[in-house]
Amino acid sequence: MTTQNSILSLPNELIAEITVASQNGDDEKTKSELILSSICRRFRDAVISAPELWTKVEMEATSERSVNLSQLYLERSAAREVWITLRAFGVGDVRKTSGLLQLTPHLTRISRLTVASDYFLDLEGILDIFSNVAVPSLRHFEVVKEGPGFPDSSYRIPEDLFSVGAPRLSSLSLSYCSTGAPGQWMNSITHIDLKNAASLTNGCREIFTDITSQLPLLTDLNLDMSRFETMEGTGISSRCLTHIRLDHCGDDTRALLDILSCFDTPALSDLTLYECHGDQISVLFNSDSTQFKSSFSALASLSCVQKEPEPETTQCKDNEDVYPHYQTIASPPIHLFPRLSSWSLINQCFTARMLTETLGRNSRPWPLLQTVTVWPLGPDIDAVYDILREVVQWKRESQEAVPKLRLSQSLFLREYWVENGVDVELVEAFT
């Protein structure tokens, strides 16, 4: 094979690497396919003849330069499915940007569509071309309004969006906007992410009811709880939901209990709670059937996460004067989560106490628990390490199974684990 032919025939592995490198670029100056196509004629011919490299189209809708570059990508991607990102930021009238019309012949091959704009810019100018059309290849749709937003002023997506059909659409992500009236294109949604005051048809207060009635096939739900003042009289009932992530679970000690009591999701296997607190976990774990009426009989994984704790949060530790509502956990919450096999505590206050009370010498066995993930707050590392050692020793003395430990680096590097043959795994990041 000649040098020219070897260049012109790019291997699939190289195409994949170039594509990943390009996706990490911020603009056309750092996109690998553009850089390679400008090196020499042979590289240019080889890169242009690989349509896989041109399937990620990013257009700033108010920039003629960006519009022209997008047209180049659309041409070179040939008949491949494409990812389209449309942005409208700063000044400019989107309606006067004729470049958007160039997307019309390619609507049938869009597999992923992201639309983003300043909060104060109108999105209709971008979304007009998706009204009264069919998008048969579309799988993921995302709308992001950036900037300050309020629930009563969130943007409403046009009711005739994708009205001719979006049969393969399964994933929807919204920020500071709602879908207005329900559309047929929502019937096939299995994954939904609602954040920053996003909602479906009737605003935040009716979001639970809307999810139940409008998304019959939903399996994965990411929901921002920060706009919910009360959940009284609301609830989500679903026999399909298997994965739920709730963000901003409130500050009241009963907030977590009240939120989870709204869910009737017997198939749920994975639950992640972001921005919850140790005292809320203790209230939840101590609740009985009169307080906690939801069904989580299939739940296998529970993660309790503080993403970026405030400095004062790291000082609470066991100070009952500051946090007087922590309740000693009487026993593992087997009655709430009978099939739980994985439990994660990330940046949680009271981690040492919770581990002692659920896994320690005086606790009841947690029969199905196989994996415990622990990422303690800085001031608590030594206390958590001591408790985990005690748990391992006690389990072995009692001839009980020692759960696998997934640990932050500060805990993982302790020599005790290697010396005593403990099954440990390093957790390098938790997002």
- Mean pLDDT (whole number) for 192-204: 80
Residue 9 domain-assigned?
Answer: yes
In sign, the C-alpha dihedral spanning 177, 180, 183, 188 is positive
Residue 414 has pLDDT above 90, yes or no: yes
The predicted structure's pLDDT at residue 11: 53
Q: Which residue has the higher pLDDT, 152 or 419?
A: 419
Under the banding of pLDDT at 50, 70 and 90, the label for residue 62 is: confident
Residue at a domain's end among 10, 39, 54: 54
Residue 353 forms part of a structural domain: yes
Q: What is the pLDDT of residues 133-188, one digit of tens each?
A: 999 999 999 998 876 554 445 677 888 889 888 999 999 999 888 887 667 788 89
Inside any domain, residue 99: no
Dump pLDDT digits (tens) for 357-387.
999 988 888 989 999 999 999 889 999 999 9
* End position of a domain, from candidates 39, 54, 69: 54
Q: What is the pLDDT of residue 321?
A: 55
Rounded mean pLDDT, 13-26: 51
Residue 430: inside a domain:
yes
Residue 242 lies in a domain: no
Mean pLDDT computed over 122-133: 80
Last residue of a domain, one of 54, 74, 97: 54
Mean pLDDT score of the chain: 81
Inside any domain, residue 169: no
The pTM score is 0.84
Q: What percent of the chain has pLDDT over 90?
A: 37
Report which of residues 70 and 64 the model is more confident about: 70
pLDDT band for position 192 (cuts 50, 70, 90): very high
Q: Has residue 410 been placed in a domain?
A: yes
CATH code of 325's domain: 3.80.10
User: Would you say residue 152 lies in a domain?
Assistant: no
The pLDDT of residue 54 is above 60: yes
Domain extent, residue 277, equals 249-431
- Total number of domains constituting the chain: 2
